[in-house]
Amino acid sequence: MEIITVKNVSFTYPDADEKVIDDISFTIKEGEFLTIFGASGSGKTTLLKLLKKELTPHGTLDGAIYYGSTQLDKVEERKLATDIGYVMQHPDHQIVTDKVWHELAFGLENIGVETTEIRRRVGEMANFFGIHHWFHKETQQLSGGQKQLLNLAGTMVMQPKVLILDEPTSQLDPIAAAEFIHMLEKINRDLGITIILVEHDLEEVFPIADRVLLLDEGKIILNEQPRHVGTQLKELYPTHAMIEALPTVVKIFHQLEFTGDCPLTVREGKEALTKNYKNDIPSLGKVSVRRTEAPTMLSLENIWFRYDKDLPDVLGGVNLSVKKGEIISILGGNGSGKTTLLNVLAGQYRAYHGKVTIAEKPLKKYKQKDLYKNLLAVLPQDPQSVFIKSTVKEDYAEISKVMGYTKDETAEKTKEVLSQLGISHLIERHPYDVSGGEQQKIALGKILLLEPEIILLDEPTKGIDAFSKLMLRDIIKDLQAAGKTIIIVTHDIEFAALTSDRCGLFFDKEIISLDEPTAFFTKNNFYTTMANRISRHRYENTITYDEVIKICQMNGEKTANETV
């Protein structure tokens, strides 16, 4: 039975010429797990908001959306509030109270549920999600993973029949993200709740989804079961950018042209490699390049920091030395202190002990105008924090004015940056009226206009699609070739493996490991790439899917006798 039906729906934002949703039709069965993916700006978030009446954006809507057999805008408000739950991309944007227990009860209180029933429902959800251990904590004290779990629990306590989620793992570290997705699987499997999930990282999602829908410029171009998505996409759109978004095991399967069903899990991927390819050559002859002769561009010596003298240390004895032209990626759990470390490096927080050196000069000796003009720039985790004007063009003009560019230089540099990031079409848009991934690109553009020597990036791939990540990787590599030094704080393991010269793990107030990507990722079980998980039982140093494909081709396929 269909629980949601979308018939010939189109949507256009006010004062916009192009439709962000363009004549789409599909149905969702009760209890189905549907995953939606597509490029940044393809209309995914808009589509989700159209399915949640209270969040429907302003604009022109054509066509019809049905909940069951009733048109959505005719369903009673209270029923929609309880039956269709929504979890947002940013955990902090959904939390409205100060205590965990109150957050869980908030929705039920608003619809007038009796106190005894509220207590029972809240207690049940707290136990189901393992929240009882931090039930009385203040919400601001929670990690990103805990906040998102709380948002999910606060939605589930309303007992919805449909659960809509907009990139819920984009703020989470790899372990928390995997746990969150597995919780969705449990909700779908054990409670039969219909799930509609928009997600860029498909590695954990493909094995549990019933169906996958690909949006492209507001149109549905693929609506398939996960095992068939790779084949259909390759056959119908062989050069489509979203091929890069497919799970690693799916990309390996189609590149090497295995026979049989497409693998979706690590276990199935390992079995396919073992069955189809030899391992006479166990290792790629990779040579790591270290910039030992380059000058040190920035360093931390025994850095200690806390937010208040009565609070515990967030950084404790941190040491870091970065050479000019290096790209360093720092990974770690939510709330471990990675962003705090960037803020200390940027001079926005002052350590109470230790020494920070920038370009061979102590940080404390810099005047602010000297530090941030052509020397150091920071892309914060929340891109909206850098927007101060009504259009992208005005925002870029403001930063150009600070840099002292002439009118012609401003126009030229703005055009170059917009083209480099693939966002020229957004120049007249308000930065708040675009997708999260597009906001990330716009904010990065402002940073590039500063032309800094040192660039600090806090979760730069958050909310952007796989193809855009490759564009960003190329931009970062071009900056490196121009002599720029780059430090990246990220949860994106695959991006770190593709981009970095060295990777480090932040844990227990310090960087406990810093090594070149192959050595770093091949020695980890969880903080490692999907390609390495799939291939490590056969090959020694493969950390990207390109490397897995290369070493398989070097080894050659097994014969029929060898396969048996």
pLDDT at 406: 92
Residue 323 tokens read as 């050479």
Specify whether the CB–CB gap between 265 and 279 falls below 8 A.
no
Q: How far is CA 222 from CA 199, 240, 242, in A?
A: 15, 12, 11
- The whole-angstrom separation of Cα 527 and Cα 505 is 9
Q: Map out the domains of the chain as residue ranges.
A: 27-55+67-213+221-244, 247-288+541-564, 326-346+366-535
Compute the chain's Rg from CA coordinates.
25
What is the full per-residue pLDDT of the chain (564 aa) written as tens digits?
899 999 999 999 987 888 999 999 999 999 999 999 998 889 999 999 999 999 999 999 999 999 999 999 999 988 998 999 999 888 888 899 999 999 999 999 988 899 999 999 999 999 988 888 899 999 988 877 788 899 999 999 999 999 999 999 988 888 888 989 999 999 999 999 999 999 989 999 999 999 999 999 999 999 999 999 999 998 999 999 899 999 999 999 999 988 888 999 999 999 999 999 999 999 988 766 666 688 999 999 999 999 988 889 999 999 999 999 999 999 998 888 899 999 999 999 999 999 999 998 999 888 877 888 889 999 988 888 889 999 999 999 998 988 889 999 999 999 999 998 889 989 998 888 887 788 888 999 999 999 899 999 999 998 788 888 988 899 999 999 999 999 999 999 999 999 999 999 999 999 988 999 999 999 888 899 999 999 999 999 999 999 999 999 999 988 866 664
Distance (Å, whole) CA 139 – CA 390: 32
Instruction: Give the model's pLDDT for residue 535.
Output: 95
Q: What is the DSSP string of 193-225?
A: -EEEEE-S--TTTTTT-SEEEEEETTEEEEEE-
User: 10 Å Cβ neighbour count for 128?
Assistant: 17
Rounded Cα distance between 400 and 411, Å, is: 9
Q: pTM (2 decimals)?
A: 0.88
**Any long-range contacts for 351-354 (C-beta under 8 Å, 24+ apart)?**
351/303, 351/304, 351/305, 351/315, 352/304, 352/305, 352/306, 353/302, 353/303, 353/304, 354/300, 354/301, 354/302, 354/303, 354/304, 354/318
Place of tokens 């919780």: 183
pLDDT of the residue at 23: 95
pLDDT at 271: 94
Q: Which fold has domain 326-346+366-535?
A: Rossmann fold (3.40.50)
The whole-number pLDDT of residue 287 equals 67
- Helix (H) or strand (E) holding 298, with range, is strand 296-305
Q: What is residue 336's DSSP assignment?
A: S
- Which string of DSSP letters, residue by residue, matches 540-554? SS--SHHHHHHHHHH
For residue 289, the model assigns a pLDDT of 65
CATH architecture assignment, domain 27-55+67-213+221-244: 3-Layer(aba) Sandwich (3.40)
Closest CA to 159 of 199, 198, 111, 116: 111
Residue 169 and residue 199 in contact, taking contact as beta carbons nearer than 8 Å: yes
